[in-house]
A and B are shown apart, each in its own frame.
Chain A
């Protein structure tokens, strides 16, 4: 998927339970096989498990952004391009791959 200038690999999980680290790790491997400019966007409506976040904070998840259900809602309202820009900026500035969007980020 193309968002502005960014080429993104997207994985969406509409599971009954929060996503564990295993799908994130597999997705990261797929992203790693692509050129460095490719971004990986993982969406999970039920969020992520504690071990998943623990690993995500400890392991370098370069070029992969984690999206919660509320991020998706805000992105749908405020525009995917702005949402991706805000998430990416936070990942670069603060190393926060799971930055949770707020309405003011999309203004």
Chain B
């Protein structure tokens, strides 16, 4: 079955799809969900239903180490109930996956349609969703749709070496080449 990457947000899915497509093409399915809980449920469902390997990219929504540990433990528990740990991978992003857009000024500039202010840029490193919500005056699904619309014409290739992308790429590459690992 085709390996799957699950992430909250269609915009995040669009970015990751673009970054992974050059190497994996249609041999990888990137699925975006509307809410966090849907990501977890979908990852579990794909694992059990399609018997496909799954990478779940999840925002921690907090920078507190204790909360991050608890979230990681929960996600590992949620997935290990369904399948062996070598068939899935949890990748955490602090605090939200949208932080990837704040890793390159050029990308952010294209998304916003203008140069980000110093405050937006700095806050975006720790509160990316809040900054985007404030800039566009939208939340959740509406914000996600607006980001998708704007990302259509944005070149995100410079984000290819982001640690999140690297971890996901390594996981799928190892499986493709028969070198699955047990690292959680």
Contact = CB atoms under 8 A, between A and B. Distances in A.
Contact of B34 (A49, A69, A105): A69
Interface footprint category on B: 10 to 19
A57 B37 contact: no
B150 to A, nearest CB: 23
B44 A54 contact: no
Contacts of A98: 37, 40-41, 44
A18 B48 contact: no
B49 interface: yes
Interface in B33-73: 33-38, 40-42, 44-45, 48-49, 71
B74 interface: yes
B78 interface: yes
B77 interface: yes
Contacts of B38: 47, 68-70, 100
Interface residues of A, number: 24
Interface string A31-64: 0000000000000001111101110011000000
Contact of A96 (B33, B37, B48): B48
Contacts, number: 68
Contacts of A50: 36-37, 40, 71, 74
A52 B82 CA distance: 18
A105 B71 CA distance: 30
A81 interface: no
A70 B42 CA distance: 10
A14 interface: no
B182 to A, nearest CB: 21
A57 B37 CA distance: 12
A57 B77 contact: yes
A74 B108 CA distance: 34
A50, A58, A68 — most chain B CB neighbours (10 Å): A50
Given A49-B37, A69-B35, A100-B42, A94 B71 contact: no
B81 interface: yes
B41 A100 contact: yes
8 contacts: A47-B34, A50-B40, A53-B41, A57-B78, A68-B41, A96-B48, A99-B48, A100-B45
Q: Which 3 A-B pairs have the closest CB atoms?
A: A47-B37, A47-B35, A98-B41
